[in-house]
Chains A and B, each alone.
Chain A
């Protein structure tokens, strides 16, 4: 758990970079720090592992004030991933990934097992990549290694500073998916800096929206999208926020909310799986110029049909209903 308790950062000449930040990153959750450039998100992240000093207030890591901990020892227990991967060009992939375990004095067998496990986790062949060097790898592979290196000593906490920001959109989306998969398995406590609201919505259990070093809103993605607290949040998440929020719901959420009759009328109507997001459902209806899609669960059971009309009702119920 990471707790920020009334944290401030003041630069020379009274420039406030971080202003009274209070927030908690619960164990096993991924919290996204987001905001316009210069909002202090990276500074806030770097204050946790003491790469930046804290002017006042305190940051507690599992109940202990970070400033009282030994910096070097503490950093070895925190995974750290940066945008430009920061891999050491003079070391092989294996040496890069096993640097912290090596510093911690792990024996060879333990390091080898860990290396193989992590390479499996990020979907790269351990034997093929072991002896290769960072510059022989593609950008996406380098960043996967960067993530795996942070996980090497199995730290409970991870700090990630725009880890996928330098990748092209297709690779970025794939790495996001992969990392979500990994996180489901390893359940780390993660603070994650992003500048991309779509990434934040997709990845975060919760989102912190910062402006000028102040927290504007700290909520789940759905709350931030559906109920922006103020004009700034509203503008930041964009005018398509309702559409974005639809990506947080699945077809299953929709049919559970209504009592629908199975639809057996027509055989050639397209079906839609219950795990599909509503955002995709909307575009399917619009693209195919179909009036309805038959909802199917994973067992192939028919759960009635999905129409634009039904989507609108759901929207009303979930979003506008709560607002009012």
Chain B
């Protein structure tokens, strides 16, 4: 049974990779990636815009959301936590396209509108994960720390943040991956990015623009996702990995 299962999994894996390889071979043979190598300058410019929008908004969101998450989990402000968490949950049901359109309503056409929209949209997952990470620290552990004479700042720095770091990075990952996709829509508010080629392709029914825009965006999203998953693994304190394993066993 076990070897049968292993074999099934292997077959499915081979089929998947074959399909992906077939897609790329087909795409290249049809010249669908040609915009990238025919206009490398423009490609890099669009990619640069794309990356700028993502990281400017993401960076600003981290700077605001992490401290805010720390702030609302302090005992004195616990009462605000419920409100913030509810807003964060509700906010994430609003589609990214709607947030982008609303930002355009505020700032008009341009890169600023795109960055504002992505910034606001990234706040939510980062905030949510910061709060969840800090809340996941065992009350008894914090009690022991207080009882031993750690100050609140020391408890935050030595106990709470190391325990929350994985969750915070996961929040940043979620935010960035969503942002990469939303940034592809930024063309609509006149902010450029690889979305320009995708939308050109849709309008002109030109598959080469579509593929030359869509595939790099996809690969960018997957790469950022993998990079941050790797960061999560590397930055997790070893003791916490063991703790998780112990809890799962």
A residues near B (Cβ < 8 Å) are: 46, 49, 51, 71-78, 80, 82-92, 99-100, 103, 133-136, 146, 149-150, 159
Contact = CB atoms under 8 A, between A and B. Distances in A.
Interface in B144-161: 144-151, 154, 158-159
30 contacts: A46-B147, A51-B143, A51-B147, A74-B149, A75-B146, A77-B149, A78-B147, A82-B140, A82-B147, A86-B140, A86-B141, A86-B144, A87-B141, A88-B158, A88-B159, A88-B239, A89-B237, A89-B243, A90-B163, A90-B240, A91-B239, A100-B148, A100-B149, A103-B150, A133-B243, A134-B239, A134-B243, A135-B245, A135-B246, A146-B144
B35 to A, nearest CB: 48
B242 interface: yes
Interface in B202-249: 237-240, 242-243, 245-246
B190 interface: no
A83 B245 CA distance: 22
Given A133-B238, A134-B239, A89 B141 contact: yes
A138 B140 CA distance: 18
Output the residue of B138, B140, B147, B162 with the most chain A CB within 10 A: B147
A1 B151 CA distance: 25
A133 B244 CA distance: 12
A10 to B, nearest CB: 21
Interface in B122-155: 138, 140-141, 143-151, 154
A84 B145 CA distance: 13
Interface residues of B, number: 25
A150 B159 CA distance: 17
Given A89-B239, A91-B239, A135-B245, A72 B141 contact: no
Contacts of A136: 242
Contacts of B154: 103
Nearest to A86: B144
Contacts of A74: 149
Given A75-B146, A82-B147, A86-B141, 9 more contacts: A51-B146, A72-B151, A74-B149, A76-B148, A80-B144, A84-B140, A89-B243, A91-B237, A92-B239
A100 B150 CA distance: 8
Contacts of A90: 159, 162-163, 237, 239-240
Output the residue of A86, A91, A146, A150 with the most chain B CB within 10 A: A86
